[in-house]
């Protein structure tokens, strides 16, 4: 029975209940042995739900009344907490699997699964047979075996039928053994592991000594779209073209977006992810404080088929900043070639990213560094290491009002244009000046104001 089993169903499978206890235990042992025999897809059962499932099978085999009741409760609770049925959980774990087969599959051409090593392909066939068996285990059998082992007259409540958030595209048919081609196509299109589950990531540096940093997937990304970003059409088209180069496998430029605050520099980068994530684009946000980890972040991305934007927001450096050197290596490369599938997109309010003071400039009586001008030039030229520099100038009044009108049109705000312009000018004067951000805040206010009026 599939994951939509009615939650409060109490009917008994007479064939299961009629089984002698020894035969039931033998059936349970067979499922447990098959689960233990997985070669590539062991991780399918290492999550909370999978571990609760294995614990339930072990408890049923042991035959202890209290342990079995507790194990069934834990399994049901995990399904409820994750809002998944057992069947849908198995499918989603298969689609997210990060193993030798899925890694090989995502790098091959369409319908070319024979390019995968024969041993790995055979192991995938073998595991899919086992996973199909576990999938076809009726949920009510687990419930009824629990009742049989514990001597209950009524089996416990069966699993709830909640829909998962993960898109289910794996076949429900009976021919899982030959589904490797379809699975390979899925892995190649959507990615595997964390890169198949998320499109945006944030780097978390080590939190304790001898502990590596890690990428954390972001569940809810900013939904901003390119058509919501009005104005600055030239830099917008330039960064779109550069991103297209990246996605098409050409050498793309690292990009510096600099200019006035509130111009939409960060929003533009986020909108690119929403536009192109279905073509394999991924975004990794790296705080300036973690730039010294860039080499560690970039190294494993080289072998992946996805394309990555390393996003650094509000970038600037103090003198002798170690992050300056780390970013310089990634922008220019070292003895190791720069990955073709990785670019850096950074935003800044400063054209010269390394702060310079008048004291940095050489004077004839300087007794310090001999080649002081070389140091000054290195600081001033750092932004030149970005192949593409996009400028966002402060919005003048016509630009600001055009942004307001377009956003009002997108929000279906019905206000006379002259009155809208007057209120928009008043808003800019009383708040943060003219910018795309101010226009968005103004439209959000008008939308809430109109929505709160009694009909």
Domain ranges of the chain: 14-196, 200-206+214-392, 397-452
Confidence of residue 129 (pLDDT cuts 50, 70, 90): very high
Average pLDDT over the chain, rounded to an integer: 80
Confidence of residue 4 (pLDDT cuts 50, 70, 90): very low
Percentage, residues of the chain above pLDDT 70: 76
Angstrom CA distances, 174 to 5, 36, 137, 171, stand at: 19, 22, 13, 8
Neighbours of 58 (CB within 10 A): 15
Query: Tens digit of pLDDT for each residue in 66-102?
Result: 999 999 999 989 988 888 888 888 888 998 899 999 9
pTM above 0.85, yes or no: no
Cα–Cα distance for residue pair 424/191, rounded to 1 Å: 45
pLDDT at 351 over 60: no
**Residue 215, strand partner residues:** 203
More confident residue, 335 or 67: 67
Specify the pLDDT at position 319.
53
Confidence of residue 261 (pLDDT cuts 50, 70, 90): confident
Percentage, residues of the chain above pLDDT 90: 32
Query: Tens digit of pLDDT for each residue in 143-159?
Result: 888 888 888 766 666 65
Specify the pLDDT at position 160.
57
- What is the arithmetic mean of pLDDT over 225-234? 87
CA-angle at 306, arms to 302 and 310, nearest 5°: 70
More confident residue, 249 or 161: 249
Specify the pLDDT at position 94.
92
Could you tell me if 84 and 158 are in contact, meaning their C-beta atoms sit under 8 angstroms apart? no
Query: Tens digit of pLDDT for each residue in 269-320?
Result: 999 999 999 899 999 999 888 888 888 888 889 888 899 999 998 887 555 5
- The C-alpha R_g of the chain, in whole angstroms, comes to 29
Could you tell me if 170 and 94 are in contact, meaning their C-beta atoms sit under 8 angstroms apart? yes
Query: Tens digit of pLDDT for each residue in 377-410?
Result: 444 455 667 889 898 888 888 988 989 998 898 8
CA-angle at 68, arms to 64 and 70, nearest 5°: 125
Confidence of residue 247 (pLDDT cuts 50, 70, 90): very high
Angstrom CA distances, 140 to 11, 63, 157, 244, stand at: 9, 18, 9, 51
- What is the arithmetic mean of pLDDT over 172-177? 70
Specify the pLDDT at position 161.
56
- What is the arithmetic mean of pLDDT over 230-241? 91
Specify the pLDDT at position 248.
93
Specify the pLDDT at position 373.
40
State how beta strands 200-204 and 214-217 pair. antiparallel
Specify the pLDDT at position 325.
65
CA-angle at 388, arms to 385 and 389, nearest 5°: 90
**Residue whose token pair is 């600001």:** 400
CA quadruple 74, 78, 79, 83: dihedral, nearest 10: 150
Specify the pLDDT at position 143.
85
More confident residue, 186 or 112: 186
Specify the pLDDT at position 60.
92
More confident residue, 119 or 380: 119
Specify the pLDDT at position 214.
86
Specify the pLDDT at position 370.
46
Please give the CATH topology (third level) of the domain spanning 200-206+214-392. Rossmann fold (3.40.50)
pLDDT at 16 over 60: no
Could you tell me if 385 and 332 are in contact, meaning their C-beta atoms sit under 8 angstroms apart? yes
Neighbours of 36 (CB within 10 A): 12
């Amino acid at each position: 029975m599939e994951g939509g089993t009615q939650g409060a169903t109490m009917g008994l499978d007479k064939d299961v209940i009629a089984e002698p206890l020894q035969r039931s235990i033998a059936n349970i042992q067979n499922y447990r042995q098959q689960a233990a025999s997985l070669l590539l897809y062991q991780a399918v059962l290492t999550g909370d739900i999978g571990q609760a499932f294995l614990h339930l099978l072990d408890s049923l085999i042991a035959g202890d009344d209290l342990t079995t009741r507790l194990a069934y409760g834990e399994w049901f609770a995990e399904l409820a907490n994750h809002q998944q049925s057992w069947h849908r959980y198995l499918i989603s774990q298969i689609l997210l699997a990060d193993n030798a087969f899925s890694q090989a599959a995502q790098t091959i051409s369409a319908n070319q699964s024979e390019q995968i090593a024969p041993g790995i392909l055979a192991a995938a066939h073998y595991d899919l047979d086992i996973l199909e068996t576990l999938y076809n285990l009726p949920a009510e059998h687990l419930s009824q075996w629990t009742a049989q082992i514990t001597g209950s007259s009524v089996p416990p409540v069966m699993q709830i039928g909640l829909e998962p958030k993960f898109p289910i595209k794996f076949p429900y048919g009976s021919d899982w053994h030959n589904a490797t081609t379809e699975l390979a196509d899925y892995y190649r299109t959507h990615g595997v592991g964390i890169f198949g589950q998320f499109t945006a990531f944030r780097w978390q540096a080590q939190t304790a000594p001898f502990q590596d940093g890690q990428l954390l997937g972001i569940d809810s990304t900013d939904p901003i779209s390119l058509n919501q970003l009005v104005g600055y059409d030239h830099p917008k088209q330039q960064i779109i073209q550069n991103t297209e180069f990246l996605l098409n496998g050409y050498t793309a430029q690292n990009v510096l977006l600099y200019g006035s605050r509130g111009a939409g520099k960060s929003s533009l980068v986020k909108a690119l992810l929403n536009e192109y994530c279905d073509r394999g684009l991924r975004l990794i946000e790296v705080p300036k404080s973690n730039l010294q980890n860039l080499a560690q972040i970039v190294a494993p991305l080289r072998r992946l088929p996805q394309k990555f934007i390393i996003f650094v927001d509000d970038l600037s450096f103090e003198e002798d900043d170690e992050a300056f050197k780390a970013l310089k290596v990634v922008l220019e490369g070292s003895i190791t070639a720069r990955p073709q599938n990785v670019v850096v997109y950074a935003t800044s309010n400063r054209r010269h990213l390394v702060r310079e003071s008048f004291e940095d400039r050489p004077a004839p009586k300087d007794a310090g560094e001999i080649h002081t001008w070389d140091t000054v030039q290195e600081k001033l030229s750092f932004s030149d290491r970005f192949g593409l520099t996009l400028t966002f100038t402060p919005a003048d009044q016509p630009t600001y009002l055009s942004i307001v009108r377009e956003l009002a049109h997108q929000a279906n705000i019905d206000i006379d244009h002259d009155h809208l312009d007057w209120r928009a000018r008043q808003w800019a004067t009383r708040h943060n000046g003219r910018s795309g951000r101010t226009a968005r805040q103004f439209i959000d206010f008008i939308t809430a104001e109109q929505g709160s009026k009694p009909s």
